[in-house]
Amino acid sequence: SRVMVLNGPNLGRLGSREPDVYGDQDLSALRVLLADAAGETIEIDLRQTDDEAELVRWLHEAVDAASPVVLNPAAFTHYSYALRDAAALVTKAGIPLVEVHISNPHAREEFRHTSVISGIATGVVAGFGFDSYLLALDAVRRIMTR
Ligand code: DQA
């Protein structure tokens, strides 16, 4: 089966973007880490876009394919009701969607303390660097096998 790992705006710049906050590894390193952790039975479909509409379309695709989602909505986390509604389509269809953050937004600026996604997500993992994605993948795997 396939797990979609969807990443929002500016995450294509990982590695060079604020390494003190997000670490020095880039998305291709993340792809390798996830593929290793996923093993043979799970295919990791890792994507990144700066485009809100594209993220919305990808979530529709997850619904149609019944693919579990690991979602780092990046800054859209804090204000995109369009993304929230699209993510709700996933979880309301009974498909797991785990919100992830590399940093711990609650330990940062005030505007990062609000997530419009968390209320409709299956669960949230934040603050563990790239391990947040691996923990989220584990969570998805546990849900799928229970
Ligand atoms: C982030 C946290 C967001 O506040 C920020 O806008 C990001 C990345 C994280 O992974 O820590 O772009 O989602």
Tell me the pLDDT tens digit for each residue of 109-122: 999 999 999 999 99
- Say whether 101 is catalytic: yes
For residues 90, 106, 132, 12, the Cα torsion angle rounded to the nearest 10 degrees is 80
Strand, helix or coil for residue 63: helix
N-term to C-term CA, the chain: 15
Q: Is the CB of 72 under 6 A from ligand 1?
A: yes
Contacts of 136 (CB under 8 A, 6+ apart): 70, 98, 100, 125
Number of domains making up the chain: 1
User: Measured between alpha carbons, how far is 107 from 124 in angstroms, rounded to an integer?
Assistant: 15
- Say whether 22 is catalytic: yes
**How much is the average pLDDT of 102-111?**
98
Q: Please tell me whether 85 is known to bind a ligand.
A: yes
Phi/psi zone of residue 58: left (φ > 0), alpha (ψ -120 to 50 degrees), beta?
alpha
20-75 pLDDT, tens digit per residue, is: 888 889 999 999 999 999 999 999 999 999 999 999 999 999 999 999 999 999 99
Task: Say if residue 137's pLDDT is above 90.
Answer: yes
For all residues of the chain together, what is the average pLDDT?
A: 97
Task: Say if residue 134's pLDDT is above 90.
Answer: yes
User: Measured between alpha carbons, how far is 119 from 105 in angstroms, rounded to an integer?
Assistant: 15
User: Measured between alpha carbons, how far is 120 from 13 in angstroms, rounded to an integer?
Assistant: 27
pLDDT score, position 146: 87
75 alpha carbon – ligand 1 mean position (Å): 6
Q: Name the residue of 10, 78, 80, 103 whose CB sits within 8 Å of the most ligand 1 atoms, as the mutation to test its pocket.
A: 103
Ligand 1 atom with minimal separation from the 75 CA: 6
- 103 lies in which domain range? 2-144
12 alpha carbon – ligand 1 mean position (Å): 12
pLDDT score, position 17: 85
What CATH number does residue 88 fall under? 3.40.50.9100
User: Measured between alpha carbons, how far is 55 from 24 in angstroms, rounded to an integer?
Assistant: 25
